[in-house]
Amino acid sequence: MLHAFISKISVVNNLNFLTHSPLKAAPSSLGQNYNIKGKMSSEPVNVNDFKELARNALPKIYYDYYAGGAEDEHTLRENIQAFHRITIRPRVLVDVSQIDMSTTILGYPISAPILLAPTSAHKLAIPEGELATARAAAAANTIMILSYSSTCSMEEVASSCNAVRFFQLHISKRRDISALLVQRAERFGYKAIVLTADTPRLGRREADIRNKMIGFPVKNLEGLMSIDVESDQGSKLEAYYNELLDASIRWEDIGWLRSITNLPILIKGILTHEDATKAVEAGVDGIIVSNHGARQLDFAPATVSVLEEVVDAVKGKVAVLLDGGVRRGTDVFKAVALGAQAVLIGRPVLFGLAAKGEGGVRTVLEMLKNELEISMALSGCPCIKDITRSHVRTPYDKLPSML
């Protein structure tokens, strides 16, 4: 009987606690993210959360264009999953009271080893398009690579804010137009040319075919050329680019590109030791390990799985960057440990832009930087140069002896 009486008092006290609890009286703190009924806030807490927000914000045809990959999308999944198979080997009892994530790319200082990859058609996300993205990159003190297929011109982006930017180039069948684009980029202050080498033809993107994805205005080509295509086989975008792009480009064309500009040249789309060696021999200033966001050749390797192969081939002669599958600060840490000077992010930027505009892109970059800072602190790395190969273990490493 005494036990029942005590239990009754306990229940009453618990009810009184809930009644007078500061959680109920002041929901402005915890309640903003989690209310008493258990409903989660819609505010994103990591980069992956922006994907669903973008899906809800965009027409399906545009979301599929941003999110989709080639054919069965095996490589699209692998780009992310390959990072999951790499573990971090943290060091303890290191002074990490101050963390410095800053680094340089081609001599240009940036706040963290995170750049914005060239991604096309930002105006499909919001009306301001690439102008909003450029401002977010500038606010984060990092480099945006403007896409050849941007829906704002390189001149408009250059005038939107003061920042370091690179320009992505596809070599078209009309070399005079390609040369003009390079000259315009140089004239308007772009600091490097990023030659995309993995697109002699557009990959088979089946979501675009099903949606009968149409083309969008390529602002940088406005007034220079017009291509009218008819396609009854799905994506008119694929037909358009197959008419535009030069499938005959070879390594010798790096020399042609070098002859028309004084800007540094990075080559994007390298996945093998052999091509990395040829790129160095051709005189490029940097290599971007990339499978085009898994939008070109399905069953090409995940980029992080071949990063070391490329790094070993170049032997420190040129900068190596990585593009594809980066969704966490730990991914950035792993890429740097395997030899990348920096990573490029693509879809997270587009999803942030679609969900919350310029502020969304800023948040995506800030989230990745915050996660990287925590990863460095918990791994015993006060600055970027302290992140070494010994800080990660890949599936290809021999397991240590259990003896």
Residue 279 has pLDDT above 60, yes or no: yes
Q: What is the mean pLDDT of residues 366-395?
A: 98
Given the residues 20, 122, 273, 292, select the one marked as catalytic: 292
- Listed in order, strand segments (DSSP E) in 211-271 are 265-270
Segment 327-349, tens digit of pLDDT:
999 999 999 999 999 999 999 99
Has 292 been annotated as catalytic? yes
Cβ neighbours for 72, distance < 8 A, ≥ 6 positions apart: 298
pLDDT 10s digits, 179-209: 999 999 999 999 999 999 999 999 999 999 9
pLDDT at 224: 84
Feature table: binding site = 65, 147, 168, 196, 205, 268, 290, 292, 295, 323-327, 346-347
User: Cα separation of 34 and 191, whole Å?
Assistant: 45
Question: What is the rounded average pLDDT of the residues 219-246?
Answer: 72
pLDDT at position 399 is 58
Beta carbons within 8 Å of 99's beta carbon, 6+ residues apart = 373, 376, 377, 382, 383
Q: What is the set of domains in the chain, with CATH numbers?
A: 2-41 (no CATH), 64-395 (3.20.20.70)
Binding-site positions for glyoxylate read: 65, 205, 292, 295
Looking at every residue in the chain, the average pLDDT score rounds to 89
pLDDT reported for residue 215: 76
Name the token pair of 245: 């792009």
pLDDT, tens only, 21-72: 443 444 444 444 444 444 555 799 999 999 999 999 999 999 999 999 999 9
Q: Which residue has the tokens 């009810």?
A: 15
